[in-house]
């Protein structure tokens, strides 16, 4: 999704801005641009469709530079990817602006501004903001006041950064609904839509709150809240390393992140397991067990891959506690009336902690006082979800750059296991059972290592998929969401249409699609439903379908014509969803590489979806 970088410094800033944009590429985008106020005192920009590299090429031919600048990667929402729609947008020669988010009342504003004589150069919702600000600055107020006045007329979500030759030493930013962080340098300051963009220049950050507007100069930062009152926001030192956003020896971030899973899972378990139980302190509050003891219902909300983690979580929680658990995609939940619930724990799951729909669902439940407590399972410590929730269970996956989520997903599953065990402890479950689960969790990193060793075999298997247009993924029980995640991974990065079905549903429709052109991928650990699954596989084989089965070595599924079996290590039943995710990630990855797609930045998708 769109990325923002800005800088005010004593040195030329274009190089810093471009490096920031490059580091935001993982978010997904279709065009890029940069604008500066030059030493000559004029506002100039350069924009290009495509990658940041295309913008850099353009700048090589026609360089611009200055000590105050803003830059942007755009992911189209209003208007096709085209140079005229790329940010920064200008109002005449006096206002330059970059924006993330969506302005919902842009049609009315555009009409009003056109009636006032403003000419529009783009199809975007963003351009109205630039002209609105211009109206106020023409009245002779400061840029800060102009931005404050303009934002009162905007409905929707935004993070924006504004520059003007009127004030060649000042960067103005505002935040409502979309993330924005200020980076503090020495005699220079920066802004970005996430800290990744700014790690080469600083490790000290201020996270703006919703409604904040800030005036940033080289030496000073003034922040004003939604009521225009001056406020002080804490400065946070980040220990995020720059290296985690580097590829190292890997060809793609996705492969690197798949192979990082033993470490990210270890990190998520570290300091959280005592001898035979889970430490309640991991929820970041001192009375975690008391709070969990009161829980009578759980509602899990998430989007995309994180939603699939939630679906697995429901199987686990309901299998091991008496607490009913619902799971829903946040974009649906936020617009639906729900009957009042009793003592509900409201759990959001998110890699980024900034997904607009998930945040909106959390806001809704908080506004209605509909939950006993809110808890987020999240990978970004300073994200909006973490800050807005009562409790946070952090996944320790480290920065995830590939758009297709891998290590964030498996660490979310680990976090859900930890939460489930904590709920069991809070509800007084059998101690031996808890101890067994804790012992099993400790085996997880080694089991993942074993599955990663299957990589060469999976790479060979992938060759059989590259000519296919469709694929079916089957699973049963808590492995059904894993089949869903496998199908999502394949379609996201290889563009092969893939669907997941609970294997028992085959005969109610999808069996009609089965022929030799339809590969059917199945996960078959040695669980209670294995024998049922085997019958489902026979239904497919007898109709000429080509089966690819990742099967427990003790499952006794024997390879035959049209039945390819890849043997998996034997795993404790509760860990199967985590371990069986790995081969499906590798399969999608290799298919995509063989097809030559942009694995880390698949077309039309964004890493962090900060607009609705």
Q: Judge residue 463's burial from the number of C-beta atoms within 10 Å of its C-beta, 0-12 exposed, 13-18 middle, 19 or more buried.
A: exposed
358 touches ligand G6P (CB under 6 A):
yes
> Quick one: which of 405, 406, 522, 527 contacts ligand G6P (CB under 6 A)?
405
Q: Rounded distance, CA 399 to CA 241, Å?
A: 9
**Contact by Cβ (8 Å): 427, 321:** yes
Q: How far is the CB of 36 from ligand G6P (least distance, A)?
A: 31
> How many chain residues bind ligand G6P (CB under 6 A)?
16
- The radius of gyration of the chain's CA atoms, rounded to the nearest angstrom, is 26
Q: Rounded distance, CA 204 to CA 238, Å?
A: 6
Nearer to ligand G6P, 355 or 527 (CB): 355
Q: Which stretch binds ligand G6P (CB under 6 A): 56-64, 213-221, 240-248, 344-352?
A: 344-352
Strand partners, 523: 550
Q: Rounded distance, CA 500 to CA 312, Å?
A: 14
384 touches ligand G6P (CB under 6 A):
no
Single out the residue of 515, 507, 505, 501 nearest to residue 469, CA to CA: 515
Q: Which stretch binds ligand G6P (CB under 6 A): 93-101, 262-270, 352-360, 421-429?
A: 352-360
Q: How far is the CB of 71 from ligand G6P (least distance, A)?
A: 22
CB atoms within 10 A of CB 348: 29
Q: How far is the CB of 353 from ligand G6P (least distance, A)?
A: 7
One symbol per residue from 17 to 56: x for binding ligand G6P (CB under 6 A), - otherwise; what is it?
----------------------------------------
Helix (H) or strand (E) holding 519: strand 519-524
Cα 18 to chain centroid distance, Å, stands at 22
**Contact by Cβ (8 Å): 423, 295:** yes
Q: Which stretch binds ligand G6P (CB under 6 A): 49-57, 62-70, 125-133, 350-358?
A: 350-358
DSSP state letter for 236: E
> Quick one: which of 355, 494, 527, 588 contacts ligand G6P (CB under 6 A)?
355
Residue 378 bears catalytic tag: no
Work out whether the CA dihedral 426, 431, 437, 441 comes out positive or negative. Answer: positive
Nearer to ligand G6P, 122 or 350 (CB): 350
Choosing from 364, 489, 601, 607, the catalytic residue is 607
> Quick one: which of 170, 299, 320, 350 contacts ligand G6P (CB under 6 A)?
350
Nearer to ligand G6P, 262 or 353 (CB): 353
100 touches ligand G6P (CB under 6 A):
no
Nearer to ligand G6P, 133 or 599 (CB): 599
Peptide bond between residue 563 and the one before it cis (omega within 30 degrees of 0): no
DSSP state letter for 504: G
- How would you classify the pairing of strands 391-394 and 470-475? unpaired
Q: How far is the CB of 450 from ligand G6P (least distance, A)?
A: 26
Distances (CA, A) of 105 to 110, 180, 514: 9, 22, 48
Q: How far is the CB of 102 from ligand G6P (least distance, A)?
A: 16
Q: How far is the CB of 125 from ligand G6P (least distance, A)?
A: 21
Strand partners, 71: 5, 34
Q: How far is the CB of 250 from ligand G6P (least distance, A)?
A: 19
Return the residue matching tokens 């497919």: 540
Nearest residue to ligand G6P, by Cβ distance, number only: 304
Helix (H) or strand (E) holding 547: strand 546-552
417 touches ligand G6P (CB under 6 A):
no
Single out the residue of 292, 393, 411, 302 nearest to residue 348, CA to CA: 302
Nearer to ligand G6P, 306 or 536 (CB): 306
Nearer to ligand G6P, 261 or 405 (CB): 405
Q: Rounded distance, CA 84 to CA 62, Å?
A: 18
Nearer to ligand G6P, 100 or 305 (CB): 305
Nearer to ligand G6P, 134 or 354 (CB): 354
One symbol per residue from 573 to 612: x for binding ligand G6P (CB under 6 A), - otherwise; what is it?
--------------------------------xxxxx---
Q: How far is the CB of 492 from ligand G6P (least distance, A)?
A: 7
Q: How far is the CB of 608 from ligand G6P (least distance, A)?
A: 6
Distances (CA, A) of 451 to 308, 361, 524, 553, 561: 21, 36, 14, 12, 24
Q: Rounded distance, CA 172 to CA 162, Å?
A: 5
> Quick one: which of 18, 283, 373, 403 contacts ligand G6P (CB under 6 A)?
403
Choosing from 2, 303, 325, 378, the catalytic residue is 2
Q: Is 452 helix (H, G, I), strand (E, B) or coil?
A: helix
351 touches ligand G6P (CB under 6 A):
yes
Site residues for ligand G6P, 478-517, by CB under 6 A, read none
Q: How far is the CB of 154 from ligand G6P (least distance, A)?
A: 24
In the chain, the largest separation of any two C-alpha atoms, in whole Å, equals 80
Q: Rounded distance, CA 105 to CA 101, Å?
A: 12
**Contact by Cβ (8 Å): 379, 351:** yes
Site residues for ligand G6P, 292-331, by CB under 6 A, read 303-306
Q: Rounded distance, CA 145 to CA 166, Å?
A: 13
Q: What six digits make up the tokens of 82?
A: 């085209």
Nearer to ligand G6P, 478 or 600 (CB): 600
What are the b/e assignments for 279-290, b being 16+ CB within 10 Å?
ebebbebeebbe
Nearer to ligand G6P, 225 or 499 (CB): 499
Q: How far is the CB of 607 from ligand G6P (least distance, A)?
A: 5
Residue 220 bears catalytic tag: no
Nearer to ligand G6P, 81 or 324 (CB): 81
Write out the residues near ligand G6P by the rule CB under 6 A: 303-306, 350-352, 355, 358, 403, 405, 605-609
Residues noted as catalytic: 2, 607
């Amino acid at each position: 999704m769109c990325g923002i970088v800005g800088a005010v410094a004593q040195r030329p800033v274009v190089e810093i801005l471009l490096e920031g944009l490059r580091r935001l590429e993982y978010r997904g985008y279709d065009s890029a641009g940069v604008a500066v106020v030059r030493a000559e005192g004029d506002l100039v920009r350069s924009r290009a469709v495509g990658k940041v590299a295309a913008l850099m090429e353009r700048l090589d031919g026609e360089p611009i530079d200055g000590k105050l600048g803003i830059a942007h990667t755009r992911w189209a929402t209003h208007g096709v990817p085209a140079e005229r729609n790329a940010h920064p947008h200008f109002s005449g020669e006096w206002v330059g602006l970059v924006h993330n988010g969506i302005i919902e009342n842009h049609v009315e504003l555009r009409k009003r501004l056109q009636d006032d004589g403003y000419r529009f150069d783009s199809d975007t919702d963003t351009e109205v903001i630039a002209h609105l600000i211009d109206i106020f600055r023409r009245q002779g107020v400061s840029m800060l006041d102009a931005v404050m006045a303009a934002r009162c007329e905007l409905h929707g979500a935004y993070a924006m950064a504004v520059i003007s030759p009127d004030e060649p030493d000042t960067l103005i930013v505002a935040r409502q609904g979309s993330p924005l962080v200020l980076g503090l340098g020495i005699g220079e300051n920066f802004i970005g839509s996430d800290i990744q963009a700014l790690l080469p220049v600083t490790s000290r950050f201020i996270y703006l709150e919703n409604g904040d507007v800030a005036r940033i100069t080289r030496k000073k930062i003034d922040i004003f809240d939604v009521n225009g009152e001056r406020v002080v926001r804490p400065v946070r030192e980040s220990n995020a390393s720059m290296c985690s956003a580097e590829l190292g020896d890997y060809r793609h971030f996705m492969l690197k992140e798949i192979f990082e899973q033993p470490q990210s899972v270890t990190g998520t378990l570290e300091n959280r397991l005592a001898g035979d139980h889970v430490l309640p302190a991991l929820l970041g509050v001192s009375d975690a067990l008391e709070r969990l003891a009161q829980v009578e219902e759980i509602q899990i909300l998430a989007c995309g891959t994180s939603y699939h983690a939630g679906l697995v979580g429901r199987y686990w929680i309901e299998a091991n506690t008496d607490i009913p658990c619902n799971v829903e995609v946040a974009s649906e939940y936020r617009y639906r009336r729900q009957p009042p619930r009793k003592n509900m724990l409201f759990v959001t799951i998110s890699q980024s902690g900034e997904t607009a729909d998930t945040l909106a669902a959390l806001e809704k439940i908080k506004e209605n006082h509909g939950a006993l407590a809110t808890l987020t399972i999240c990978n970004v410590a300073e994200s909006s979800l973490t800050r807005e929730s009562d409790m946070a269970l952090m996944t320790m996956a480290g920065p995830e750059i590939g758009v297709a989520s891998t290590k964030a997903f498996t660490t979310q599953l680990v976090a859900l296991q930890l939460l489930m065990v904590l709920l069991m402890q809070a509800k007084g479950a059998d101690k031996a059972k808890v101890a067994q689960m804790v012992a099993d969790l400790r085996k997880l990193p080694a089991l993942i290592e074993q599955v990663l060793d299957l990589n060469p075999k999976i790479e060979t298997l992938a060759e059989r998929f590259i000519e296919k247009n469709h694929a079916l993924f089957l699973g049963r029980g808590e492995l059904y969401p894993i089949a869903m995640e496998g199908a999502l991974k394949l379609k996201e990065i290889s563009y092969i249409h893939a669907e997941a079905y609970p294997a028992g549903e085959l005969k109610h429709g999808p069996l009609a699609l089965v022929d030799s052109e339809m590969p059917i991928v199945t996960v078959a650990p040695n669980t209670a439903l294995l024998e049922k699954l085997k019958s489902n596989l026979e239904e497919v084989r007898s109709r000429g379908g080509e089966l690819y089965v990742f099967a427990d070595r003790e499952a006794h599924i024997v390879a035959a014509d049209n039945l390819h079996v890849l043997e998996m290590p034997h795993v404790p039943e509760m860990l199967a969803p985590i371990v069986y995710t790995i081969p499906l990630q590798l399969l999608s990855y290799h298919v995509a590489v063989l097809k030559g797609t942009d694995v880390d930045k698949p077309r039309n998708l964004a890493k962090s979806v900060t607009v609705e």
